[in-house]
Amino acid sequence: MDSIFKGAATAIITPMKNGEVDFDALDRLVDFQIDGGIDALVAAGTTGESSTLTDEEHVEVITRVVKRAAGRVPVIAGTGSNDCAYAIKLSSDACRVGADALLLVTPYYNKATQGGLIELYTAVAESVDKPIILYNVPSRTGVNIEPQTYAALAKVKNIRAIKEASGNIGKAVETMALVNGKLDLYSGNDDQIVPLMSLGGVGVISVLSNLLPKETSEICHAFLRGDVQKAAQLQFKYIPLIQALFSEVNPIPVKAAMTRLGFGDGSIRLPLTKIEKAHEENLLTRMREAGLNV
């Protein structure tokens, strides 16, 4: 099975200026990522504030990232929803504007049974011809994709991978045993890149790489080369920064960090608010320790 990507994909922020999408900054961010050696980009994912983008903005962000990337790296579009029909529409729109793959978060608030998850994901997969990554983040959605459910969904032709952000290593072990190589595994948590790659994972969909695309990609590629010690050392090195990036709900800290690097004015849409001062000061300290000039 060909992987959608191997290494690190950045779940990029959506830079804003005066509360509106800053498309010029978005273009620069795409270049910054690709020039930094990132392996793929996720546009309009949850880190990109998909929940508060208008329908038009959502599609335009994906379109702009696809155009700017210009085939240099795969572009994965965040098109999940708690409404199946809406997820199908977003997914179709993303495919129409050139996305290479789709990232589908589990339904939130209304949740779903495991059978409902199978029906939802199958319906979306059958509506498009692009590869799909299933996104499991129960701390934010209230529903977990169980290992047996992954095994059932692995039989759907264009469901190809998992972004696992449950934090439950035991469940990940069980999942990888059951899918038996039919689904790629990506870590959805920056503090678990190496642990999940040890289970056969092929990379990460990352928040950290917004700031450090080269370094995050190197964690993955060191592991893929067989240099587990180097991968682990890098994982350890960036843990303080990773913790600072999650000192408040994502993407509050990473937007603050990227503002310091020149991407947007720090605008973030309610109900999310700007980072608290103490958290920002700690974040800046950790950024400097990681070698960033802020």
Active-site amino acid positions = 135, 163
CB 144 within 8 A of CB 15: no
Using the Cα atoms of residue 34, residue 39, residue 41 and residue 47 in order, give the sign of their dihedral. Answer: negative
Alpha-helical runs (H) found in the chain: 23-35, 55-69, 84-96, 114-127, 138-141, 147-153, 169-179, 193-197, 213-224, 228-237, 239-245, 252-260, 277-289
- For strands 20-21 and 16-17, give the pairing: antiparallel
Burial (CB count <10 Å: 0-12, 13-18, 19+), residue 71: exposed
The helix, strand and coil proportions of the chain, stated in percent and rounded to the nearest 5, come to 50, 15, 40
Using the Cα atoms of residue 36, residue 37, residue 40 and residue 46 in order, give the sign of their dihedral. Answer: negative
Helix, strand or coil, per DSSP, at residue 240 = helix
> HSE-up of 288 (CA within 13 Å, CB side)?
6
> HSE-up of 241 (CA within 13 Å, CB side)?
26
187/1 Cα distance (integer angstroms): 19
Supply 192's token pair. 């678990």
